[in-house]
Amino acid sequence: MIRKPRKKTEHPESRLQRSCVKWFRLQYPRVLLFAIPNGGDRSPVEAAIMQGEGVERGIPDLCLPRPKASWHGLYLEAKIAPNDLSPDQVEKIALLRAEGYRCEVFYTLDQFMEIVNNYLKLPDYGSTTGENR
């Protein structure tokens, strides 16, 4: 049986996100940052299983679960211009913000680095001294 070569699919947002995670893990090896696997092409059965497990459309790509200043944590969404947020993403980001989370959209590695560095420089959540962990 002769197999057809697989068609290469470009995923520029995935490439951006991987670069950001690589930089983050080198810069902050003791700080937790994790991906939330909501996107991607899946079979209908796989999508139904994931939905039953609690996957929600529109949740941002990355979570940094470290409370800082007045926020409970930071959610980050990778986008490649000219892509914009989907209606599901706008809704979920609004819900997360209402619950006390900071949510940011980034389009470049430089933007990601600036957002993360500035966030992690903030005083710890509830701190009156401004000292970080």
Question: Could you report the per-residue pLDDT of 69-100, keeping only the tens digit for each?
Answer: 999 999 999 999 899 999 999 999 999 999 99
The CATH number corresponding to 12-40+53-121 among 1.25.40.340, 3.40.190.10, 3.40.50.150, 3.40.1350.10 equals 3.40.1350.10
Full-model pTM: 0.84
Q: Enter the DSSP assignment of 58.
A: T
Question: Quick check: bond before 82 cis, omega within 30?
Answer: yes
Q: What is the pLDDT of residue 129?
A: 53
Name residues of the chain where pLDDT drops below 50. Answer: 130-133
| CA–CA distance, 13 with 3 (Å, rounded to integer) | 29
